[in-house]
Amino acid sequence: MKQFKMLTQYIIGLVLLTQFTYSQEQIELKYGDPTPTAFLRSLEGENFFLSKEIRADSPIILAFYATWCVPCRQEIPALEKMMTNPKLSDVRLYYVNVGGLMAADKAGDVVKQREETEKVKRHKAKFNMTHPILMDRYAKTAQKFGAESLPTLVVIGGDGRIRYLHHGYKPGDDVKLMALLHSL
């Protein structure tokens, strides 16, 4: 009984901590909202200012993911395949690698997940990721975009407004995304 009480207290504490963490900066975005500002560094260490990348003739896809995320491992190949379509030559895809989120480790303990550069590079090679990877080491950009669960896709129109938000992945999501991109 004592162990059950301790486990219950631990779970309640974890839930409260998670709510507190996300209540600090998380913005609930919706279709048509202006895109939040974002400054990140690429996997190669180059500066990336999202505001400088917004152009009228070129929608942007931000694909928030992590190396430990199982559905992300299914979404990445689908995105890579979709982006080979010549009709999407004006669309730019950026993967946003999210570190600092709470998730279970191999032992089942809930810990803050770290996304080390070398681990991300190995993941990039394994999944043949051909588009730029931006590093969100402390999940600050993920919080701004409401990417509290992974994967999360955000499409930004040429006007700098949110045109699509989607959490999770299931086969066929790329078909819906393709239809949306054709309408922009």
Q: Which residues contact 55 (CB under 8 A, 6 or more apart)?
A: 158
pLDDT at res. 2: 54
pLDDT beyond 70 at 81: yes
Q: Is the dihedral of CA 38, 39, 40, 44 positive or negative?
A: positive
Residue 3 located in a structural domain: no
Q: Please, are residues 75 and 171 in contact by the beta-carbon 8 Å criterion?
A: no
Residue 22 located in a structural domain: no
pLDDT interval class at 180 (50, 70, 90) = confident
Sheet with 92-98, strands from edge to edge, namely: 47-49, 39-42, 133-136, 92-98, 60-65, 152-156, 162-167
- pLDDT tens digit string along 100-156? 877 777 777 777 788 999 999 999 999 999 999 999 999 999 999 999 899 999 999
Residue 176 located in a structural domain: yes
Tokens 């996300």 sit on residue? 22
Span of 2-16, 37-51, 52-66, 160-174 with lowest mean pLDDT: 2-16
If you average pLDDT over every residue of the chain, what do you get?
85
Strands 92-98 and 162-167: unpaired
How many independent structural domains does the chain possess? 1
Q: How would DSSP label each residue in 109-135?
A: -EEEPP--HHHHHHHHHHTT--S-EEE
Rounded to whole angstroms, the maximal C-alpha distance in the chain is 63
Give the CATH number for residue 118. Answer: 3.40.30.10
Residue 12 located in a structural domain: no
Range of the structural domain that residue 79 is part of:
27-183
Q: Please, are residues 154 and 62 in contact by the beta-carbon 8 Å criterion?
A: yes
Span of 46-50, 71-75, 112-116, 155-159 with lowest mean pLDDT: 112-116
pLDDT interval class at 18 (50, 70, 90) = very low
